[in-house]
Amino acid sequence: MKQEYRDLVLRSCGASSLRVGAEIQTLWSGYGRIVRLHLDGCDRPSVVVKHVQFPAGAEAGHPGGWNTDRSHARKVRSYQVEAHWYRNFSTGPGCRIPACLEACSHGDEMLMVLEDLDVAGYDVRRTSVKDREIKACLSWLAHFHALFLGVPPDGLWPVGTYWHLETRPDELEALDDAGLKAAAADIDRILNECRFKTVVHGDAKLANFCFSQSGAEVAAVDFQYVGGGCGMKDVVYFLGSCMEEKECEKRVPGLLDYYFTELRHSVGKDVDFEALEKEWREMFAFAWTDFHRFLLGWMPGHWKINRYSKRLTREVLSRLKQQS
């Protein structure tokens, strides 16, 4: 790590010295890495640093082969949005995120110095989850969406989520499903014209949640695609990240009820909750189909492309046809 970055971390934490610890992970497509730094001389034993290093143009390798200039520009913007988020937004205890101690840019590099959630008690990562963990994440999303209901996404993505249609023309062009391809703009428009808008996490997959030992409490990380939109986008993406098709068929109705119960308890009394719930429940299938559209163009062999997703997509296309 460059000396100027070491000095920045020491100043932001009030530490006297630091030691570079383990690499937690590399960033998508080789855009940097996340490391843990151990500190001395301050009240924090460690911090987590997200060190972004932009390649020159579309030089980084992409797991799906989508290493284009457009993809590169989107990633650069995503890290700028994340830094803005950490500098300018905060949440409450019901939707815990890491505190940001510093976020800065130096040419083609960015550095975000974040609270170590492991030290704060969120030291468990899950690749599979039971009911308690799923409900903890849905509760987090409900509190998050309630907190930012009606808040303009200033400095964030105008429309959040990494699969937003406007930012994914190449994947739309690659889509073979003619009916879904023709309906993509209408689905996007219907989601964007929701009366009730909030700020969505934008990448609320299981891997971006950090759990307590009991699994009852959770914090979230990775805010590259945070922005405006309908809360159902986060909900469908999360549920699809941790359940296969048979589980979805069986469990989604009850889990949706739980999410809306948590949301009801979290929103202000001035919100017309019945109208909010009615609208967002209607948007569930549209949000799921919107992500399905992205997957079919991006990676048509993905495991998330299943009969449950196809059934919801058929329902949405049928509704659109009836309305036309």
CATH topology of domain 131-323: Aminoglycoside 3'-phosphotransferase; Chain: A, domain 2 (3.90.1200)
pLDDT for 108 equals: 87
Cα 6 from Cα 235, distance rounded (Å): 38
Residue 321 CA to residue 302 CA, distance in Å, equals 27
Cα 324 to Cα 322: distance, rounded to the nearest angstrom: 6
For residue 74, which of 172, 175, 188, 164 has the smallest C-alpha distance? 164
Place of tokens 């843990």: 36
- Give 17-23's long-range contacts (Cβ < 8 A, gap of 24+): 17/41, 21/46
Residue 20's closest CA among 41, 34, 30? 34
- Considering the domain 3-115, what is its CATH architecture? 2-Layer Sandwich (3.30)
- Residue ranges of the chain assigned to CATH 3.90.1200.10: 131-323
Name the amino acid, one letter, at 284. Answer: F
Residues of the chain with CATH 3.30.200.20: 3-115
**Segments of the chain with pLDDT less than 70:** 56-67
